[in-house]
Amino acid sequence: MAEKLEGPVSVVKDGVDLNTIITANSLMVGRNVVRRGGVRPGLPALNVPAAVLSDAQAGNVVAGDNVPAVPDVSIDVGDRGTSGGVTIRDEGDRPVISLNGRTGFITLGTGKDAAGGLMVRSDRNGPVILVTGKEGRITFMDRQLNQTLVIDGVRGDIELIGADCAEDFEMGEPATPGSVLTIGEDGLLHPCRMTYDQRVVGVVSGAGGQRPGLRLGRGQHHGVRQPLALAGKVFCLVEADHTSVAVGDLLTTSAIDGHAMRATDPKRAFGAVLGKSLGSLDHGRGLLPVLVSLQ
């Protein structure tokens, strides 16, 4: 059975001075513990080398021979009907981590010299969520430790690594990322197949190695769904077989499946413009960055 020590109970570092590292009103220790009457050097407790558990009032010592940290060890702070708390201090006796049982608050950092922080690691031991009080930032990272989302509390900014705002739509047929899409007679989206098509709705996001910064409409759906870039910068399939494309040119639908072309006829372009080119293409076909803005 687990053994409960009524407090105050301290976890002390083995040595001459017996410096206290944790103090609590009561402590519940898991199985395989032995009550001893004095300090014995080198006995582990809670998997902390050279540490013992002592009852500060009775002067007894509880030391574990191979005491497991998980799942058989639990720490129960506070008597029934009385709130408890845990405080961890640094070498300057400043409380750097405080758990308040009455208010339910967890405080990290001293509020003076040391800022608080929280790190959540992945199974590869890399930080995937990092909260720092010093910069007032929450940073999310992928498994390669590339930043994917930053919330800056000081400046009030949300930094998204992706470039466009996209929404998932049901497709009438799969389309390559970068394809220009139009609304078909079936109400589904298809790659464009005619010039100056006023049913143009946008570009399939995800081409050129770029992901959407904001993606809407995700969830459990039937059928083929793909992200359509509604605004922002996206890479788009462009053809310059008949006329070159320069930076700043308005783009419209082409007769080549899923491609955009330079809009040269202002009358036909009205309502059929999908965006403005941010790159140039003298001839042939390729991917160009485009600022999506339906007109």
Read off the pLDDT of residues 141-152 as tens digits, 9 standing for 90 and up. Answer: 877 777 778 888
Tell me the Cα Rg of the chain: 32
Q: By mean pLDDT, which of 44-58, 102-116, 186-200, 241-255 is the weakest?
A: 44-58
pTM of whole model > 0.75? no
Is residue 2 predicted with pLDDT exceeding 60? no
Cα separation of 177 and 228, whole Å? 9
Q: Which two tokens stand for residue 196?
A: 């100056």
Over the stretch 6-49, which tens digit does the pLDDT of each residue have? 444 444 444 444 444 444 444 444 433 333 333 333 333 333 33
Cα separation of 234 and 95, whole Å? 49
Cα separation of 262 and 39, whole Å? 84
pLDDT band at 55 (very low <50, low <70, confident <90, very high): very low
Cα separation of 181 and 32, whole Å? 67
The CA-atom distances, in angstroms, between 138 and each of 130, 133, 149, 158 are: 6, 9, 8, 10
* Average pLDDT for 235-256: 95
Between residues 243 and 62, the one the model is more confident about? 243
Q: Which pLDDT belongs to residue 179? A: 96
* Average pLDDT for 226-230: 91
Average pLDDT across the chain, whole number = 75
Q: Domain 164-292 is in which class? A: mainly beta
Task: Please state the three-class secondary structure of 232-256 as a single string.
Answer: EEEEEEEEECCCCECCCCEEEECCC
Q: Which pLDDT belongs to residue 74? A: 54
